[in-house]
Structure 1
Amino acid sequence: MQTDQLLSLFGGVLLLLGLIAFFLGRAKAARVRAGGSTMHAQPDQYAWFAVLATAGPAIVVSAVGAFLLLLLEVEIPQLGLLAGSLAVAAIGLGVGMRQVRPDFHARKAIERVIRGALLTAALISILTTFGILISIVFEALRFFQMHSFWEFITGTVWNPGASFLAAAGRAEEGASAAQFGSLPLFAGTFMITAIAMLVAIPVGLLAAIYMAEFAPRGVRTLAKPTLEVLAGIPTVVYGFFAAITVAPIIVSIANAFGLDAAFNNAVAPGIVMGIMIIPFISSLSDDVINSVPDSMRQGALALGMTKGETIRDVVIPAALPGIISASLLAVSRALGETMIVVMAAGMRPNLTANPFEDMTTVTVRIVAALTGDLEFESAETLSAFALGLVLFAVTLSLNLVSVLMIRRFREKYRVNNL
């Protein structure tokens, strides 16, 4: 049988067993309750426990079998895995029905299962983060065995040179001309990100304040979904817009002021990236501002403050931790953007303070290093993991700083309100 047919069969039989468990469990609990016994839970809760006892173990067994079959390539007959999972479901059905008795607390058992599922989801997220970090670290260490970490961090020239000769078995010849100074890449990344934030934070925050404090209900109902549409536009479309429309406008404006500007420059992708990020800041900031209690606004107005002073001195300080979190989420989004930079800023590593010159970012170089026909063992390919490790450290540092800032501000705000 085909895999999709097996999955359909497994899902259908498991659904049927779940329905049987639900109705049998509820009927048995109702009979016990009608017999005068005091039950610790409602009949429907016993029924749902029977469903969990039936479907839960079967799903776990099938998931473990799929993991062994697909990832570890252990030879397990698919039909046997299906039969085993359904047999476990039948055993679970019997166990669930036996637990329908007066001294069993079905509601607490269901809560324990839900708590375990939530804990498992949290552990999966944490372990995935560590897995990503470990996979990057090991490959980055291989790169740093070829090239100095200090030169990688402080070097001002990114020129892989002939490092691709490693694929031909002439690694020493290629490594002699290779230079892997990451400063031009991180300089381009931070410059484009800074330009994007200069566009996104003021516009997004002001839009959030307007929608939360001034906009009529009809305008807000129409404006907020329209603004959030920007988050759903593919980045390649933004890239076309930056390269075809914004970049020529930037060049024309720069020439009007007597400045030289290349069509591949940092300003155009920065502006377009800022437009793309506006929904992240405006939507989250709007939700945070709306969560500020109205009693604080009414109290400030009652003390004689104007609406503008209330927003500036009461609402924004109360919502600032959420606004900072929204801004840092936008920064992380900007640091990881690739397509807009490729199409509008170019791919040349260029260490310059002039935003009208072409430059590139870390993510663009990572994509360039991991695509094509380069040997995986070459220094240029492994440099992508070193760049990813440093970018991960930078993002983690920003998050730690933001947590400290939010915590200090909350403590200060709490003291001021005591």
Structure 2
Amino acid sequence: MNLLLLGVLLAFVAVAYQLGLKKSRQLAGKGNSSVSLHSRPGYYGALVAIWCGIPAFIILILWNALEPVLLHQAVFNQVPSSILSGLDEASRTVLLDRVQAIASGFGVTDQPQAYELKAAEQYAQMAKIGDYAKFAVVICVAMAGLIFAQKRINQKYRARNGVEKVIRIGLALCSGVAILTTIGIVMSMLSEALHFFHFVSPAAFFFGTEWNPGFSTTGNAEGSYGLLPLLWGTLMVSAIALLVAIPVGLMIAIYLAEYASPRLRAWAKPTIEILAGIPTIVYGVFAMMVVGPFFKYLGDQVGVEINATSALTAGFVMGVMIIPFVSSLSDDIITQVPRALRDGSLGLGATKSETIRQVVLPAALPGITGAFLLAVSRAVGETMIVVLAAGNSPLLHVNPLEAVSTVTVTIVKQLTGDTDFASPQALVAFALGLTLFVITLGLNIVALYIVRKYREQYE
């Protein structure tokens, strides 16, 4: 019913737009009888469509939100109070599922009780009446909005202002959703992290050098929950990734922006950016099955022991993944440097390479630095590659040829399996996630600050 109603409502909106457009054109007239309208005809059509659609959509959303509450209450009204008082929340949910199954005609596996049959009959009757009432109310509201907006159309009506106001409100609501989502994520992680710190002190967590969480059935924090080995592994893998991605990505950007022909650039840049669209799990499998064994083979040839799963393997493949991220941002920034700066340098006798080193790159350096910092935040938050290729060894060492563990790997490990989410062994994942969030947020803030403070404005 909802899909049918939504389709009918969209058809009404389309008709409303055409009616508003037609009336505005009739008011404008043609030839010697033409008059000037405040707004273009399309704005009048859009305004009628808005009045027809938005109130009806709001009614539909509110109805769908309140209807289940009323139906559930109708079901509970048919259940004897002596039985209802003995049901907890989970049992009430089971009862609702049984009543809905009976009302839908599928039935239940055992013999339903008399009150369940009565509740299912009441549920089906109210749901049917509610569907018809919802359809009638929503369509009536849409028609009322259409008629109201049609009557307001005249030569002096500021339709454009009304449409732009609705658009601004819509954009503000979208921004609010994004902001509230971020706040919700932070608050959820913060509340669970504070719960974790009731078991483990913040000092032991942030400055501990050993990670060995113990699993117990008593709910107590047994073992060691030191963050430093995980944080060091994250920084080591990220540093290797940046050592791969930044030089290669920057050289690609310089070549595409300064040396490549337009024809070569037209197909080379999209081809490189395909790397950014490959799922990270594919990179992880590639690192585990190809890159890791290849590095181990090279190490055997030169007499150096290299683990197939190590910080080097994970960092190298992660760097390959970040290359299009660095190259694309740097290329866009380099191409924004005005041509006049290049021509002035070449006119003074500088070579092309000298112009790039001494003019183009310094002019684009703030934006390139911001791109590098954004790449750092991308590397710090990577999960699947390090899960498969880093080795999951939470030890504090400086050898990139050995296995390490990162914050993201540990979050995955602590939240998988048969885990009690109220135990410190699971709550520690939220503390790790909050720490990672603060790190990436700080890197993004620094990147935006550098770009805004040192950005060059050219005409």
TM-score (norm 1): 0.89
Q: Is the Cα contact below 8 Å between 2:16 and 2:52 reproduced in 1? A: yes
What secondary structure is seen at the aligned counterpart in 2 of 1:372? coil
Give 1:256 shift: 4.0
Q: Quickly say closer, same or farther: Cα 1:128–1:227, change in 2 above 3 A.
A: same
Q: Distance in 2 between matches of 1:200 and 1:70?
A: 52
Q: Quickly say closer, same or farther: Cα 1:344–1:298, change in 2 above 3 A.
A: same
Q: Is the Cα contact below 8 Å between 2:215 and 2:425 reproduced in 1? A: no
Q: Distance in 2 between matches of 1:213 and 1:285?
A: 12
Q: Distance in 2 between matches of 1:86 and 1:10?
A: 8
Q: Is the Cα contact below 8 Å between 2:377 and 2:444 reproduced in 1? A: no
Q: Does 1:27 align with 2:80?
A: no
CA deviations over 1:282-326 (Å, ceiling 9, x no partner): 112212222222122222222222211221222222222332232
Q: Which residue of 1 aligns with 2:372?
A: 327
Q: Which residue of 1 aligns with 2:384?
A: 339
Q: Does 1:125 align with 2:178?
A: yes
Q: Which residue of 1 aligns with 2:219?
A: 171
Q: Does 1:151 align with 2:204?
A: yes
CA deviations over 1:31-88 (Å, ceiling 9, x no partner): 3333766521122221111112212222333345556679999889672445443333
- Residue identity opposite 1:103 in structure 2: K
Give 1:161 shift: 1.0
Q: Distance in 2 between matches of 1:157 and 1:137?
A: 23
Q: Does 1:231 align with 2:229?
A: no
Q: Distance in 1 between matches of 2:34 and 2:453?
A: 59
* Structure 1 residues without counterparts, runs of 5 or longer: none
Q: Quickly say closer, same or farther: Cα 1:156–1:333, change in 2 above 3 A.
A: same
Q: Is the Cα contact below 8 Å between 2:374 and 2:443 reproduced in 1? A: no
CA deviations over 1:81-136 (Å, ceiling 9, x no partner): 45443333222212221221123111111111111111111111111111110111
Task: Tell me the number of residue pairs that the alignment of Structure 1 and Structure 2 aligns.
Answer: 400
Structure 1 residues 399-408 or 70-79, which shifts more?
A: 70-79
Q: Quickly say closer, same or farther: Cα 1:73–1:213, change in 2 above 3 A.
A: farther
Structure 1 residues 288-297 or 137-146, which shifts more?
A: 288-297
CA deviations over 1:155-213 (Å, ceiling 9, x no partner): 111111124x1xxxx224xx3x3211111111111110110011011111110110111
State how 1:377-388 maps to structure 2 within 5 Å: 377-388=422-433
Q: Distance in 2 between matches of 1:393 and 1:180?
A: 19
What secondary structure is seen at the aligned counterpart in 2 of 1:22? helix
Q: Distance in 2 between matches of 1:393 and 1:110?
A: 40
Q: Distance in 1 between matches of 2:68 and 2:366?
A: 44
- Residue identity opposite 2:22 in structure 1: A
What secondary structure is seen at the aligned counterpart in 1 of 2:214? coil
User: Equivalent of 2:37, from 39, 51, 54?
Assistant: 39
Q: Quickly say closer, same or farther: Cα 1:84–1:359, change in 2 above 3 A.
A: farther
Q: Quickly say closer, same or farther: Cα 1:366–1:68, change in 2 above 3 A.
A: farther
Give 1:390 shift: 0.7
- Residue identity opposite 2:142 in structure 1: A
Q: Quickly say closer, same or farther: Cα 1:214–1:83, change in 2 above 3 A.
A: farther
Q: Distance in 2 between matches of 1:272 and 1:300?
A: 39
Identity %: 47
Q: Distance in 1 between matches of 2:264 and 2:68?
A: 51
Q: Is the Cα contact below 8 Å between 1:136 and 1:389 reproduced in 2? A: yes
Q: Distance in 2 between matches of 1:128 and 1:220?
A: 38
Q: Distance in 2 between matches of 1:19 and 1:319?
A: 48
* Structure 2 residues without counterparts, runs of 5 or longer: 74-125
Q: Distance in 2 between matches of 1:71 and 1:319?
A: 58
Q: Does 1:52 align with 2:50?
A: yes
Q: Which residue of 2 aligns with 1:211?
A: 256
- Residue identity opposite 2:308 in structure 1: F
Q: Which residue of 2 aligns with 1:161?
A: 214
Q: Quickly say closer, same or farther: Cα 1:313–1:155, change in 2 above 3 A.
A: same
Q: CA RMSD in A?
A: 2.5
Structure 1 residues 122-131 or 319-328, which shifts more?
A: 319-328
State how 1:311-322 maps to structure 2 within 5 Å: 311-322=356-367
Q: Distance in 2 between matches of 1:368 and 1:98?
A: 63
State how 1:19-418 maps to structure 2 within 5 Å: 19-34=14-29, 38-66=36-64, 79=131, 80-163=133-216, 165=217, 170-172=218-220, 175=221, 177-410=222-455
CA deviations over 1:2-40 (Å, ceiling 9, x no partner): xxxx22x12321222122212221222233333766521
Q: Quickly say closer, same or farther: Cα 1:294–1:65, change in 2 above 3 A.
A: farther
Q: Distance in 2 between matches of 1:194 and 1:281?
A: 14
Q: Quickly say closer, same or farther: Cα 1:281–1:72, change in 2 above 3 A.
A: farther
Q: Is the Cα contact below 8 Å between 1:133 and 1:389 reproduced in 2? A: yes
- Residue identity opposite 2:269 in structure 1: K
Q: Is the Cα contact below 8 Å between 2:52 and 2:143 reproduced in 1? A: yes
What secondary structure is seen at the aligned counterpart in 2 of 1:260? coil
Structure 1 residues 48-57 or 188-197, which shifts more?
A: 48-57
Structure 1 residues 350-359 or 89-98, which shifts more?
A: 89-98
What secondary structure is seen at the aligned counterpart in 1 of 2:396? coil
Q: Distance in 1 between matches of 2:376 and 2:24?
A: 55
Give 1:354 shift: 0.6
- Residue identity opposite 2:5 in structure 1: F
CA deviations over 1:191-248 (Å, ceiling 9, x no partner): 1011001101111111011011101122112211111111121222211221122112
Considering only CA atoms, is the larger Rg found in Structure 1 or Structure 2? Answer: 2
